[in-house]
Each structure stands twice: as structure tokens, then as C-alpha cells.
Amino acid sequence: MNHNKSYSFPRRFVLSLFMLAGLAMGSAHADTYYKPFILGSIDKNTDMNAVVDTVKKKLTDNGFEIAGMYSPYDDATIVVVTNASLKKVATESDYGAFGAIERVSVTKTPSGIQISYTNPIYMANVYRMKSDMTDVSDAMAKALGREKEFGSEKGLTKKELRDYHYKWLMPYFTDPLELASYPDYQSAIKAVEKNLQNNKPKVSQVYRVDLPGKQETIIGVKMPGLLRAECSGDKYIMSRIDFKDIKSTAHLPYELVISGGKVVALPAEFRIAINFPDLSMIGSNSFASIMCAPDAFKSALTTVAGGDSQ
């Protein structure tokens, strides 16, 4: 009996299994993980206004245009920018306007003034855009620096970001809030502008970016959280969930998108989770601490859109 022959198939089979396992492990290790924010630098200057002015100049010097800015609370300023590349890519996908801007934050902390911004590659995948916006990422890094990514301990892969939802039964990017509907784009824009001018419900415009050649607009709004929508307030939410040493101030401001005759926004359960993916469901500094936010958020933005907020 040929003993060597009787063991030849199992040996090859086991060897194949090891090879497949090695390939699988190699593939897993090859995945790149992204985090929602990038810390550009920490400025030791104590003059917030001077740092904000410097940040704005660096951005415009590197091809960005300032779409708007505001201070949601003390010691924090947010500058919203866009450029031709962001707007072009935004026209190529459904609700691409959500990815047409970059949010830059200047936050005063005991360790210095933190200059941070939303990670373009992370957001491009969250919003399922056709480009990963590496050119925008490079331009932002050139303008503001790139010390490290933050906002999640491990981060998420492109695949995870493109199919992101926080938990089972939670909304995806493809489940926007339909706040109001109008016969056409112009009617929708006119209604939203009127409500913002009337400051309903104490919500005001921070920026507006119109996409070229497409009837789609993104409008960022300041939400003080007054009247019935106190839980939607910028300060209210951030005081509970932005508790780490490196601040995620560039989470703000929230936005709505007018696309054709529709006015939509991302549900708070999605919009907050994409920037705070590690936030626990319960306990202190958790989603439970802002459990009133989704309904208040929807109510405030529906009123701005001119829809039925009941």
C-alpha cells in the first residue's frame, strides 16, 4: 500500500485552507479605516478672532470659498467652505448636496485652540458619492494641516460607511426625512427662504450652496433650541455628547437639502451617529442623554421647510 499517496489529498487540502486563511487575513489587514474628523493643528494663540482670520485666509489661499460661519456657543467658531470640486462631485449622485461642503471648527480648549475639519473621504463614503474626494482631502491638509484623524477609536471602512446605520432598525442615508414637498424647485426655495427670514422656529441660516446645473441646494442652519424644539439646540446636544479632549465641533451646523420640489434632512439618528459612531446607546454622554433630540430636530426643520410639524 502506498501510504504517501493516501495522505496526498488531505495534505493539499489543509495547505489550501491555510493559504485561503492567509489571504483572508491579508485582505482584512488591507482595509483602511476612516474617522469622521481630522485635527489640523493646535494653535497656542489665545486670540480666537486672530486664529479664525488665519484659518479663513489659509482656506481661501488654497482654493476654497467661505460659504458661511457662526459661533454655536462660547469658544467655538465654525467656518463652512466649498469649492468647484466639491460642488461638481455633489451633482453626480442623489442628494449629493449633503457632501458639497466642508465644515471647519476653531475651538478654544485648555490645551490650546483646536483647528479641525470633517474628513472629506469619510463623508464622501457616508453620502455615497462617486468620488472619494482625495483631492479635497489633500487641499484641506495643505491649508490647515493634518495631525491625526479622530472621532472614533477604530474608524470605519469604505464599505461600512457606504452602508452605514447606527443600529438595527436605525435609518440609512437613503432614509431621509421628507420635510415638505412643493410643485417645483423654485417654490421650495422660496418657501424655505421665507421661513428662515421669519426665523421659524428661531432657526437661522448659516450658509447656502447651490449646485451648478442641478436643481439642488444645501442650506446649513443654526439651531438655538428654543420654543418646542429645545432638544434640537446646538449647545444642548453638544454639551452632552462632545465630551472628549479633542472636540468634534465640526459636527455642526445641521443642514437641509432642497432637491427639485422636495425639502429633506438626514434623521438625527443618522446625522448624529455618523459623526459620533462610538457613542454608547445608554449611560452618561450617550444617545440616551439626547433621546428627545430626534423628534425636536424633525419638528424644528419641518417648520423651517414649511411642512406639517404636528
Q: Tens digits of per-residue pLDDT, 35-46?
A: 999 999 999 988
Is 5 domain-assigned?
no
pLDDT of residue 21: 54
CA distance 136 to 236: 31
pLDDT of residue 285: 85
pLDDT of residue 188: 98
pLDDT of residue 9: 38
pLDDT of residue 225: 77
Is 19 domain-assigned?
no
Is 18 domain-assigned?
no
Q: Which domain holds residue 199?
A: 37-305
Is 24 domain-assigned?
no
Is 20 domain-assigned?
no
pLDDT of residue 46: 87
CATH of the domain at 185: 3.30.310.70
Its sign, for the CA torsion 7, 10, 14, 20, is: positive
What is the side-by-side strand order in the sheet with 65-73? Answer: 65-73, 76-82, 102-109, 112-118, 37-43, 148-150
Residue ranges, the chain, pLDDT below 70: 1-30, 226-229, 310
Is 31 domain-assigned?
no
Q: Are 222 and 149 in contact (CB under 8 A)?
A: no
pTM: 0.88
pLDDT of residue 72: 95
Is 80 domain-assigned?
yes
Is 299 domain-assigned?
yes
Q: Looking at the 3D structure of the chain, how many domains does it have?
A: 1
